[in-house]
């Protein structure tokens, strides 16, 4: 291709406009650094805004409304059978939700003087990169921040290209509501999208290779979600692999490791995400991604190349937007010479299903693996007034504390609103407060937040 | 039973010390009073003996680290190896520098129980800013939580907005260059206002950055404190010490036979102590908060001594009451202890007035900075034989230049002049001194 003559000189070139990239760019601009963002889509927001957190949560809100309407029958309110019109739903999701937030981001960028360049960035050395695309150009930088994020991982051993086999990005487009949907992967993306489609009317089958949903998480936090999924889905196949997918006319035939074959209108592959670091020209720099494509960084988000920083999913697990954003702030401040460090103790995680599952800090399996002694308090929502008024007594709030000092080390919550409630737990873990602090802080009554206080009290009383 | 040993109270405004040497190793079984650590305070290098016999289970500090009074230095243990070594200091809240370690019996990776140091994010940022290693900070918060104040204390910086802590060891003359002992650079405590940022000197040529030693930093902080807080005023005078010089010369041999090298300094001490008795406001400290002048009914005089680590001010107690030869003897022993780095804390505290003799290095006079929170300091330059006109004739006399710097909040120029004259009078009429000795 022919290179344009245009060369931009900047303090900081950010590659990728996702939450890691735009947060870093905005902070750089605030700190007086001249900053440009290169994004393949010529837009800010990344996977999170366009094909991740935001559209999935929009659909899950719809699912929650449908679920609440169904539950209302318990107390004598019947709205009748819901009718869902996909066109207005898609329009609401993409214009009122995603579009509105995208315009907001664009105007913040403009206000801060951060230029967004469209095209694919390829490093030429540790001081410059070229932008390939409609407007080829060259950017010379003092520092670069790699924030190229991640992409859905393909299903290992199974290759079938069909529009009926979707990844999360395609599924969020909501092409239709398939009669039967196979969700491959019992992680948070499979569970969230599986529940959204189930709420919209699909008969969902979920298959997970390992023998539990949300593998690695505390069993008691997963249990209420698993029970709910058993009701919402027609079948959950645990400890099962998909060995082949075959297109059969308008259907996809899936074969499972136990020998069964079943047909579906659509298949959603949600088996994880892979960092995007190939094709970036990193070989011209000192950055060397590992075999999985992960770029290693230190606590200032510095890579092995002194001029290049990396943030977000491309730096590995946990691949979450809020972690990417915090890293973005750290990278920007480190570049500006501030004493920043990504030394966060708790990176909270939320599964926005019904019920929601949220946790932060130490989990029980982690404590067991590390042989770390912890005191565990569980508060069943059956004893919560607020949970009773919501008709949701199936929740659980759990605290892990240090037996010697009483410090809160981890918090896990399952139940409606867990995603909001976890914020207090995260603050507790991050600021190293004790169960006594939690127990002695007044929590509004009646709310679900009281369950944190109650759990702390059971630990204090030693019961 | 693990028995923690914390840095003892060093008295008089001394709140922290820098670890110079650790003289024992983990696992050592030591006797009571065996030397444990060498620490340097604002005032001296002192050896800390072991308060108990036992096995050193854990050493919590390392050389170069600054620790606060009360911080656990060493945990002793008499239980068999493998027992828990969780520091639980007796006074104050439990404050392990790091989270308690897991029982050694458990088959665990080293990382077990050694998670991040409990501190809020803003506190951690502050620690990075002040270049304090959080693991070395004594925690005072609940559950071993490190607070902002803990971090500032570890950095040797005062709390923001709090009044400056009364310091007991201001130094008068900058010391010599530091020896090569590696020091960690820590910012100086703020002096109540933000100094403007420095220019980038690199633009004019190569530069080298060198961290200040603990002593140097202390000197700098105390000087800033004194110079910004106290309105200094200086009075110049000269004493004709021709006669005194002759007396000293005549008695040098006699004194030598009694094991004492007679010098001018002991006479200066005596003259100053006696003059202070007549002018008590110069043997005092101002308490601005109370609106009171604290007059001290004792005369402990500090003498500035230049050492290769920096300037140190040992104190001779009850100068007014001691015979001259005793003073001279004590002075020599004290100066030697200071130069050898063996001075005890009692050698260095309690001063009420300071004398700094810059004569040895030449010059015609210097204006010292007051040793906060004292009220005045006497600078003494080199005595020289000079032509003096007496009754119309030029006669050679030995003149000693004196500068009296004092706190103008406490005394006025006329007071200073009278006080200086009282000193001069005693030096010029040594026979009158005899009446007082
Ligand atoms: C369905 C789904 C739901 C999710 N839900 C949540 C959630 O609820 N909460 C949460 O925290 N996280 C969620 N995530 C994860 C979240 O989206 C990611 O962690 C986050 O987007 C990572 O941000 P990032 O800045 O690292 O990269 P991304 O958001 O992936 O952005 C990377 C950007 O870089 C661009 N790019 C890549 N290579 C180049 C190149 N060479 N040149 C120019 N541009 C390039 C890409 O086009 C993209 O715009 C979800 C993800 C999915 C898929």
> B113 falls in which pLDDT band (50, 70, 90)?
very low
Which of residues 296 through 335 in chain A touch B, CB cutoff 8 A? none
d(Cα B355, Cα A250) in Å, to the nearest integer? Answer: 101
Whether the CB-CB separation of A213 and A225 falls below 8 Å is answered with yes
> 3-state DSSP call for residue B132?
coil
More confident residue, B322 or A314: A314
Q: Which of B93, B94, B142, B200 to mutate to test the interface with A (most CBs of A within 10 A)?
A: B142
Residue B396 placed within a domain: yes
Instruction: Pick the residue from chain A with its C-alpha nearest to B143.
Output: A405
Active-site residue, from A61, A219, A443, A445: A445
The b/e string for A346-368 (b: 16+ C-beta within 10 A; e otherwise) is bbbbbbbbbbbbbbbbbbbebbe
d(Cα B177, Cα B309) in Å, to the nearest integer? Answer: 7
Q: For position B219, what pLDDT does the model report?
A: 84
Which of residues 145 through 184 in chain A touch B, CB cutoff 8 A? none
Q: Which domain holds residue B141?
A: 3-155
Chain A neighbors of B148, CB-CB under 8 A? none
Chain A neighbors of B100, CB-CB under 8 A? 404-405
* Domain locations in chain A as residue ranges: 4-151+274-335, 165-271, 349-461
Residue B178 placed within a domain: no
Cis peptide before A270 (omega within 30 of 0): no
Whether the CB-CB separation of A34 and A12 falls below 8 Å is answered with yes
Radius of gyration of chain B from its Cα atoms, rounded to whole angstroms: 25
B6, β-bridge pairs: B72
d(Cα A431, Cα A425) in Å, to the nearest integer? Answer: 10
One pLDDT digit (tens) per residue for chain A, 463 residues: 344 467 899 999 999 999 999 999 999 999 999 999 999 999 999 999 999 999 999 999 999 999 999 999 999 999 999 999 999 999 999 999 999 999 999 999 999 999 999 999 999 999 999 999 888 999 999 999 999 999 999 998 888 889 999 999 999 999 999 999 999 999 999 999 999 999 999 999 999 999 999 988 999 999 999 999 999 999 999 999 999 999 999 999 999 999 999 999 999 999 999 999 999 999 999 999 999 999 999 999 999 999 999 999 999 999 999 999 999 999 999 999 998 999 999 999 999 999 999 999 999 999 999 999 999 999 999 999 999 999 888 999 999 999 988 999 999 999 999 999 999 999 999 999 999 999 999 999 999 999 999 999 999 887 5
A437 touches chain B (CB under 8 A): yes
Q: Is the pLDDT assigned to residue B296 strictly greater than 60?
A: yes
Closest Cα to atom 35, ligand 1: which residue? Answer: A16
Instruction: Give the distance, in angstroms, between the CA of residue B423 and the centroid of all CA atoms in the same chain.
Output: 26
Residue B129: CA count within 13 A, CB half-sphere: 14
d(Cα B281, Cα B419) in Å, to the nearest integer? Answer: 10
More confident residue, B93 or A77: A77
Tell me whether residues B118 and A339 touch, CB distance under 8 A: no
Look over chain B and give the mean of its residue pLDDT values, rounded to a whole number.
79
- Provide the CATH number for the domain formed by A165-271 in this structure: 3.50.50.60
Domain boundary among B129, B155, B181: B155
Residue B349 placed within a domain: yes
- Residues B183-192 have a mean pLDDT of 57
d(Cα B319, Cα B327) in Å, to the nearest integer? Answer: 7
> 3-state DSSP call for residue B149?
helix
Residue B188 placed within a domain: no
d(Cα A63, Cα A73) in Å, to the nearest integer? Answer: 16
Tell me whether residues B143 and A433 touch, CB distance under 8 A: yes
Record the tokens describing residue B97, joined without a space: 């520098």
Residue owning tokens 């119309």: B392
Domain boundary among B105, B128, B155: B155
How many pairs of residues across A and B have Cβ atoms under 8 Å apart? 67
Whether the CB-CB separation of A360 and A426 falls below 8 Å is answered with yes
Tell me whether residues B118 and A405 touch, CB distance under 8 A: yes
Q: What is the dihedral of CA A2, A3, A6, A12, to 10 degrees?
A: 150
d(Cα A59, Cα B66) in Å, to the nearest integer? Answer: 56
CATH number at residue B307: 3.30.559.10
Residue B174 placed within a domain: no
Q: For position B319, what pLDDT does the model report?
A: 94
d(Cα A58, Cα A404) in Å, to the nearest integer? Answer: 43
Q: For position A319, what pLDDT does the model report?
A: 97
Q: ipTM of this predicted complex?
A: 0.76
Pair (B132, B223) in one structural domain = no
Chain A neighbors of B120, CB-CB under 8 A? 430-432
Query: Residue A219 C-alpha to ligand 1 middle, in angstroms?
Result: 29
pLDDT above 70 covers a percentage of chain B that reads 79
The sign of the dihedral angle between the CA atoms of B344, B346, B347, B350 is positive
Q: Which of A93, A313, A321 to mutate to test the pocket of ligand 1 (most atoms within 8 A of CB)?
A: A321
pLDDT above 90 covers a percentage of chain B that reads 32
B141 touches chain A (CB under 8 A): yes
Query: Residue A451 C-alpha to ligand 1 middle, in angstroms?
Result: 33
Q: For position B183, what pLDDT does the model report?
A: 45
| CATH class, range A4-151+274-335 | alpha beta
Chain B neighbors of A373, CB-CB under 8 A? 102, 113
Choose among A336, A338, A294, A286: nearest CA to A312: A294
Chain A neighbors of B121, CB-CB under 8 A? 343-344, 430-431
Q: Is the pLDDT assigned to residue B435 strictly greater than 80?
A: no
**Looking at A27-31, A297-301, B19-23, B325-329, which range is the least confident one?**
B19-23
Tell me whether residues A407 and B143 touch, CB distance under 8 A: yes
Tell me whether residues A436 and B142 touch, CB distance under 8 A: yes
Q: For position A257, what pLDDT does the model report?
A: 95
pLDDT tens by residue, B126-181: 898 888 888 888 888 888 899 988 998 888 755 444 333 333 333 322 333 333 33
Q: Is the pLDDT assigned to residue B63 strictly greater than 60?
A: yes
B185 touches chain A (CB under 8 A): no
Phi, psi angles (nearest 5°) of residue B118: -65, 115
Residue B184 placed within a domain: no
Pair (B230, B85) in one structural domain = no
Record the tokens describing residue A73, joined without a space: 């029958």
Residue owning tokens 């047909």: A263
Whether the CB-CB separation of B71 and B7 falls below 8 Å is answered with yes
Domain boundary among B127, B155, B183: B155
> B34 falls in which pLDDT band (50, 70, 90)?
confident
User: B246 CB contacts (<8 Å, ≥6 apart)?
Assistant: none
Q: How far is CA B219 from CA B21, B330, B366, in A?
A: 21, 25, 18
Residue B190 placed within a domain: no
Neighbouring CB atoms inside 10 A of B69's CB total: 17
- Provide the CATH number for the domain formed by A349-461 in this structure: 3.30.390.30
Record the tokens describing residue A118, joined without a space: 């469209």
d(Cα A104, Cα B384) in Å, to the nearest integer? Answer: 81
Pair (B84, B233) in one structural domain = no
Residue B304 placed within a domain: yes
- Fold: same for A4-151+274-335 and A165-271: yes
pTM for the whole structure: 0.62
Q: For position A445, what pLDDT does the model report?
A: 95
Count up the domains in chain B and report the number.
2
A237, β-bridge pairs: A207
Tell me whether residues B143 and A430 touch, CB distance under 8 A: no
Is A445 among the catalytic positions?
yes
DSSP A187-227: SHHHHHHHHHHHHHT-EEEEEESSSSSSTTS-HHHHHHHHH
Q: Is the pLDDT assigned to residue B106 strictly greater than 50?
A: no
d(Cα A408, Cα A400) in Å, to the nearest integer? Answer: 6
* Burial of A432: CB neighbours in 10 Å, binned 0-12, 13-18, 19+: buried
Q: Which residues line ligand 1 (CB under 6 A)?
A: A 15-21, 38-41, 46-48, 51-53, 56, 120-121, 147-150, 168, 189, 276, 280, 312-314, 319-322, 324, 352
């Amino acid at each position: 291709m022919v290179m344009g003559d245009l060369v931009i000189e900047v303090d900081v070139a950010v590659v990728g406009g996702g939450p890691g990239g735009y947060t870093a760019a905005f902070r750089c601009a605030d700190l007086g650094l001249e900053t440009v963002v290169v994004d393949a889509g010529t837009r800010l927001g990344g996977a999170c805004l366009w094909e991740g957190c935001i559209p999935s949560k929009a659909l899950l809100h719809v699912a929650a409304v449908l679920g609440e309407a169904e539950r209302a029958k318990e107390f004598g309110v019947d709205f009748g059978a819901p009718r869902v019109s996909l066109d207005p739903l898609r329009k609401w999701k993409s214009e009122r939700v995603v579009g509105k937030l995208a315009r907001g981001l664009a105007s913040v960028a403009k206000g801060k003087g951060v230029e967004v360049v469209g095209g694919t960035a390829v490093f030429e050395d540790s001081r410059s990169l070229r932008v390939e695309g409609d407007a080829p150009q060259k950017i010379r930088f003092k520092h670069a921040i790699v924030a190229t994020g991640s992409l859905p991982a393909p299903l290992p051993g199974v290759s079938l290209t069909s529009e009926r086999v979707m990844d999360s990005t395609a599924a969020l487009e909501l092409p239709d509501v398939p009669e039967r949907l196979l969700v491959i992967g019992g992680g948070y993306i499979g569970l969230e999208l599986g529940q959204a489609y189930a709420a919209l009317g699909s008969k969902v089958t979920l298959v997970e290779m390992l023998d539990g949903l949300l593998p690695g998480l505390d069993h008691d936090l997963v249990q209420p979600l698993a029970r709910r999924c058993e009701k919402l889905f027609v079948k959950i196949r645990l400890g099962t692999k998909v060995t082949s997918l075959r297109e059969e006319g308008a259907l996809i035939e899936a074969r499972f490791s136990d020998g069964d074959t079943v047909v579906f209108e659509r298949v959603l592959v949600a088996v994880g995400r892979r960092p995007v670091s190939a094709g970036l020209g990193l070989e011209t720099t000192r950055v060397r991604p590992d075999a999985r494509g992960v770029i290693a960084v230190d606590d200032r988000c510095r890579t092995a190349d002194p001029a290049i920083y990396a943030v977000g999913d491309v730096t590995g697990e946990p691949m979450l937007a809020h972690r990417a954003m915090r890293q973005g702030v750290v990278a920007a401040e480190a570049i500006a010479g501030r004493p920043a460090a990504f030394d966060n103790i708790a990176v909270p995680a939320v599964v926005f299903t019904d019920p929601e599952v949220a946790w932060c800090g130490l989990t029980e399996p982690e404590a067991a693996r590390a042989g770390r002694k912890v005191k565990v308090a569980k508060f069943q929502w059956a004893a919560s007034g607020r949970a009773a008024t919501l008709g949701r007594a199936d929740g659980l709030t759990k605290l892990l504390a240090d037996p010697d000092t009483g410090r809160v080390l981890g918090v896990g919550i399952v139940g409606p609103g867990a995603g909001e409630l976890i914020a207090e737990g995260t603050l507790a873990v991050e600021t190293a407060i004790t169960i006594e602090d939690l127990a002695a802080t007044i929590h509004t009554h009646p709310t679900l937040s009281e369950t944190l206080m109650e759990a702390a009290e059971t630990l204090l009383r030693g019961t | 039973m693990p028995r923690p040993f914390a840095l003892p109270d060093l008295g008089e405004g001394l709140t922290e010390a820098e670890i110079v040497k650790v003289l024992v190793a983990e696992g050592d079984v030591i006797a009571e009073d065996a030397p444990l650590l060498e620490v340097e305070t604002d005032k001296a290098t002192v050896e800390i003996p072991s308060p108990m016999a036992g096995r050193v289970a854990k050493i919590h500090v390392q050389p170069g680290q600054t620790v606060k009074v009360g911080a656990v230095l060493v945990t002793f243990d008499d239980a068999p190896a493998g027992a828990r070594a969780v520091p639980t200091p007796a006074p104050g809240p439990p404050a392990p520098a790091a989270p308690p370690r897991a029982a050694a019996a458990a088959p665990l990776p080293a990382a077990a129980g050694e998670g991040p140091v409990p501190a809020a994010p803003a506190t951690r940022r502050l620690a990075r800013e002040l270049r304090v290693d959080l693991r070395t900070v004594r925690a005072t918060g609940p559950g071993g939580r490190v607070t902002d104040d803990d971090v500032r204390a570890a950095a040797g910086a005062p709390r923001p907005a709090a009044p400056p802590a009364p310091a007991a060891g201001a130094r008068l003359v900058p010391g010599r260059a530091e020896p090569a002992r590696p020091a960690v650079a820590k910012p100086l405590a703020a002096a109540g206002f933000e100094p403007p940022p420095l220019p980038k000197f690199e633009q004019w040529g190569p530069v080298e950055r060198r961290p200040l030693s603990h002593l140097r930093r202390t000197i700098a902080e105390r000087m800033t404190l004194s110079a910004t807080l106290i309105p200094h005023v200086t009075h110049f005078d000269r004493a004709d010490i021709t006669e005194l010089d002759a007396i000293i010369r005549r008695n040098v041999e006699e004194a030598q036979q009694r094991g004492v090298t007679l010098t001018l300094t002991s006479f200066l001490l005596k003259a100053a102590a006696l003059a202070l008795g007549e002018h008590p406001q110069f043997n005092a400290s101002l308490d601005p908060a109370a609106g009171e002048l604290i007059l001290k009914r004792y005369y402990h005089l500090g003498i500035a001594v230049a050492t290769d680590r920096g300037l140190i001010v040992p104190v001779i107690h009850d100068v007014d009451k001691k015979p001259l030869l005793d003073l001279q003897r004590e002075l020599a022993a004290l100066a030697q202890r200071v130069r050898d780095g063996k001075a005890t804390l009692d050698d260095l505290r309690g001063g009420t007035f300071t004398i700094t003799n810059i004569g040895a290095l030449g010059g015609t006079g210097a204006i010292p900075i007051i040793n906060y929170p004292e009220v005045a300091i006497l600078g003494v330059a080199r005595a020289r034989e000079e032509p003096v006109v007496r009754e119309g004739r030029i006669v050679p006399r030995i003149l000693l230049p004196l500068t009296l710097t004092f706190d103008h909040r406490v005394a006025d120029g006329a007071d200073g002049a009278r006080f200086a004259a009282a000193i001069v009078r005693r030096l010029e009429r040594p026979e009158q001194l005899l009446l007082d000795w």
